[in-house]
Structure 1
Amino acid sequence: MFVWFCIVACASAACLVDAGMVKAGQPHQVPVNGSKVLRAAHFALVEFNKANIEEQFAYKTVKITSANIQIVSGINYILKMLLARTRCKKIFTDDGVSCVFHSEPKELQCLFVVSEIPWEGSRVLSKNKCFPYNY
């Protein structure tokens, strides 16, 4: 089963490259609501909350503002996201999805790169840069 998944994943990427839709190494814009983008965004949010040790409250996604994929030796999901602090403490949640936003707003504009190698089952947050969001 795993072998078939690897074959399908590689073939899908190869078809996109062969069709001229995506050039290997070149970022390509994709819809922000695609299932793979949403999965990568959720992963990035969870990893961000784990790494953000100076904050006791979890953040959750307000909006994915842009999404690109890049075919390299795997797939990079390059995501720009707006996050906001919630009322939930991180010890109780890792993604803040079911939490309400904090009464003292704190929003961040983030650039995340999630690097995935589907045939190895590996995924890492290879870039995590966030800045205060100015309205």
Structure 2
Amino acid sequence: MFVWFWFVVCVFAAGRCPNAKHVMTGQPQKVPVSGTGVVKAARFAVVEFNRANTEELFAYKIVNITSAKMQIVAGINYILDVQLGRTMCKRRDTDDSEPCALHPEPKECQCCFVVTDVPWENSHILTQSKCHHE
């Protein structure tokens, strides 16, 4: 609800200020890659990626979030470009690969994730995951 309040305030302000950039409802907007919601969505996406990546023995973790957009829909879509690195932790041993050290034989992956967050339902869904190894 808080997010919707600020969204309405920003849209209203954009309409009142002649120099403000016009924001279209539903249009993805760039957001800082270090934002709390972005980082939370990226970490959730990596956990889901590791669960689904059954052919890999080791877990991956975030090396860099290269870009982030936020889209207001029936919730919030976080559209993320994330660079992942293979860790020393076994994929099945941990849900959180962040504390794991990177593997000495580097293997990286560039991913585009879309995470849909519905805060009032406390729901996160990885709606898109497209990755390729570098």
Shorter-chain TM-score bucket reads 0.7 to 0.9
User: How far apart are the structure 1 equivalents of 2:86 and 2:93?
Assistant: 14
> Which one has a bigger Cα radius of gyration?
2
The CA deviation at 1:19 is 3.3
Runs of 5+ consecutive residues of structure 1 not aligned to the other structure: 1-5
User: How far apart are the structure 2 equivalents of 1:128 and 1:38?
Assistant: 16
User: How far apart are the structure 1 equivalents of 2:12 and 2:53?
Assistant: 40
- Measured on the aligned residues, the alpha-carbon RMSD in Å equals 1.4
Q: Secondary structure at the match of 1:19?
A: helix
| In the alignment, structure 1 residue 16 sits paired with structure 2 residue 16 | no
Identity %: 53
Instruction: Indicate the residue corresponding to 1:36 in structure 2.
Output: 37
**Normalising by the residue count of structure 2, what TM-score does the alignment of the two structures yield?**
0.88
What count of residue pairs does the alignment treat as equivalent? 127
User: In the alignment, residue 53 of structure 1 is paired with which amino acid?
Assistant: T
User: In the alignment, residue 19 of structure 1 is paired with which amino acid?
Assistant: A
User: How far apart are the structure 1 equivalents of 2:115 and 2:12?
Assistant: 24
Instruction: Indicate the residue corresponding to 1:108 in structure 2.
Output: 109
Instruction: Indicate the residue corresponding to 2:17 in structure 1.
Output: none
User: How far apart are the structure 1 equivalents of 2:121 and 2:68?
Assistant: 23
Q: Secondary structure at the match of 1:124?
A: strand
The CA deviation at 1:23 is 2.3
Greater shift, 82-91 or 95-104, is seen at 95-104
The CA deviation at 1:25 is 1.3
Runs of 5+ consecutive residues of structure 2 not aligned to the other structure: 15-20
CA deviations over 1:23-78 (Å, ceiling 9, x no partner): 21111000000111111111111111111111111000000000000111111000
User: How far apart are the structure 2 equivalents of 1:63 and 1:82?
Assistant: 5
Structure 1 segments of 4+ aligned residues over 6 angstroms from their partners:
none
Greater shift, 124-133 or 19-28, is seen at 19-28
